[in-house]
Structure 1
């Protein structure tokens, strides 16, 4: 009877170890996926803004840096890029 409990405990520990290791690898990938998704949405927002901005003459370049800033910071990042663009 004691060997059966030992085997169950070993399998339980192995399964918990697999879950912990997989969590260590999945967590950064979730962050990276969210960062990529937000950057793509930021680029899409810039494209839409530039489409309507052609009527007012305001244009913000769509590149990796501006998409990443808007993806990370959201609306405050967009406002910051817009202010820098208008001041320069």
Structure 2
């Protein structure tokens, strides 16, 4: 399938979940997790854009997006620390 179609389907499902809500609890939990991962990916995107002048770069993948989405700003700072001093 074309990536545009897949992204459009996911965006449509997210919009439906925003307006209607998930009727069953596990589906709501999965939906909230996906939204947190997307927000974490946005955190990392903005970090990479604004941190490029400082030499800060954290790759955006499922693990780093999950960490930054679930933990928020402290998670992003932890990823920067791990990237700079440990790896």
TM-score (norm 2): 0.68
Are the equivalent residues in 1 in contact too, given 2:39–2:69 (CA < 8 A)?
yes
Deviations 1:10-38 (Å, cap 9, x if unpaired)? xxxxxxxxxxxxxxx71111111011001
Q: Which runs of 4+ in 1 moved over 2 A?
A: none
Which structure has the bigger radius of gyration?
1
Secondary structure of the residue aligned to 2:29 is helix
Distance 1:49 1:73 in 2: 15
- 1:77 and 2:58 are equivalent in the alignment: no
- 1:35 and 2:55 are equivalent in the alignment: no
The Cα RMSD (Å) is 1.3
**Alignment coverage as a number of residue pairs:** 64
For structure 2, which runs of at least 5 residues remain unmatched after alignment?
A: 1-22
For structure 1, which runs of at least 5 residues remain unmatched after alignment?
A: 1-24
